[in-house]
Structure 1
Amino acid sequence: MSKNKLRLVLDDNLGIPKYQQIINAVTEGLENNVLKIGDSLPSINAFSKDYGMARDTVFKAYSQLKKDGIIKSTPNKGYFISGNSIKVLLVLDTFKAYKEVLYGAFINNLPDNIIVDLQFHHYNPDNFKTIFRNTKGKYYKYVVMGFNHKEVPRVLSEIDKDKLLLIDWNIHSNSDHNYVFQDFGKAFYEALVSIKDSLKKYRSLSFIYPEFTYHPKETLVFFEKFCKEHQFHYNIVENSKAFKVESGKAYISVSDRILGKFLEQCRDMGFEPGEDVGFLSYNETPMKKFIYKGITVVSTNFETLGVKAAEFITSHEPMKHYVPTKITIRESL
């Protein structure tokens, strides 16, 4: 195989070690079908001479490629492509049941040669910076769930936009970014409008937005907009300790901990969900259709979100997509 087929262009301004640039050139060559299984690679000495770099640098790159199962070496024959594994990085906020649905759909819609490394930032800017400082240039593509912090856009700006997909929340994005988002504002408002008649049997609506949540506050803005425009009495509770279930009220919450407290208080006070009180839970999970007699949910489709993210990995096309939000009516409302 000639060095031209490898298409390696070293760039000292990228801030990516040269050994990693070699690895990237090989994996991108595989992804673009420029390199194929069985193709030979230059010897370490030849590579070092052709590209004017230290032998140790080439050796380090080849060693990592061997470890990843992409190349093999044969005595007296040199190095050759033995596999076509490609690594991508998926960065989520925290692990919850609905994130498991997203992750499962993402993994299940990727070909077998795609290796996914999963990391969590836990809304911690230092964690976020460390993840990308340690992974810069090491992955074919990056799928990232961001959060509201001033350091996030600076970190994201260091990733090639063509390799980056932002998912879930439209925060710190611009027109150049690839994305698969849900809408926490207008779509939520329209979902409430669709069940307006079901909500009217309750004397007031209460949105429980506990102090430990990171859910976008945009949802609260559109909750108030809905209540005012459709003449619902309402309140917003941001202190979870102040949450107390009252007969004749319907509750909306972004937290499954609050859902647990709601059901516990209903049991203790003899309230029947869906009759004496109502509950609308944010984010569908596989178990909510079975909890009690079924919990009404407002949610985007996390399976679709995962499928679209996988499509970005396997396609060379830009990705700009919003996943719809809908309400699934069950016995709790």
Structure 2
Amino acid sequence: MIRKEDKIIFEVSNLKKYYQVRKKSFIRGKEYVKSVDGVSFSIKENTILGLVGESGCGKSTIGKTVLGLTPPTGGKVKFGDNVIFDVENNIKISNSEMTKLRSEMQIIFQDPYASLDPRKSVGQIVSEGIKKHKIVPKGNIEEKTKEMLELCGLDATSMFRYPHEFSGGQRQRIGIARALAMNPKFIVCDEPTAALDVSIQSQILNLMLDLKDKFGLTYLFISHNFSVVKSFCDEIAVMYLGQIVEKGSAYEVYDNPKHPYTKALISSVPIQHPDEVKERITLEGSMPSAVDLPSGCRFHTRCPYKTERCINESPTWKILDNKTGVACHIY
């Protein structure tokens, strides 16, 4: 019997998303930006998976692709018992079925200023999905809208105001209320605190944790801030140049990192106390272009431990004794 806490609610297999490059010359052949290249992971019900890495590694692209907001190049995504798409087997959920599932899969966007329509009142923004998916009877829409706003720390009278009248933290609460109004099971959180002040970030994160416990939500939390991911998430997946290089429990990945890239990311986290001593690992160069990927291990151009094997051979995925998965020739 599968325990509820072990039930897989979201599963991604070999996901790929390539963007064709518009070439300036007439040389034959197509070039692609391999934004996501063979990513696989699963998320257990009522847990939080943190996706962390440098800007440009493909984190946000994964979030949009798994929800069907961006068409995939390859791979399979399964939500509960529903296959959203399976490119290799030419399977794709119908538009009508996808529309029904939209209420169960929601997204909180990074920019609270750009994600809200300035021409609509807060009440219109939050209630739009409620009306579309008929979450409650028509006569209860206003009551449901006020309930969602109050759950997210906003006064019920906020529904008559417009987005420009609110601060960044308040706007993000509106975005959370909009997602929560659909009664979702799974939410993609695309760097929801990146555009906010540090003092406001903790408030938003605590709100999201409270809502998760209250409604039994499951999160895919995308961020470049390792200290936030460590304290907020149950599991962490570290991305580099379109691929996951390490994945495990938040405790194991942060306190006992295996991949050299993970170690470098963690070493860049600011110290918590003046007496704390931390070795700073400085990586040479910058992330290579996703159009012209390095041979072998994609991290070898910046890795202090690289060998000839790293340059010529791609590492395979290995599960270590602490149940952490890692793609590195060292292991």
Same fold at TM > 0.5: no
Task: Tell me which structure has the larger Cα radius of gyration.
Answer: 1
User: What's the TM-score once normalised by structure 2's chain length?
Assistant: 0.26
Give the number of the structure with larger relative contact order, counting CA–CA contacts within 8 Å between residues 6 or more apart. 2
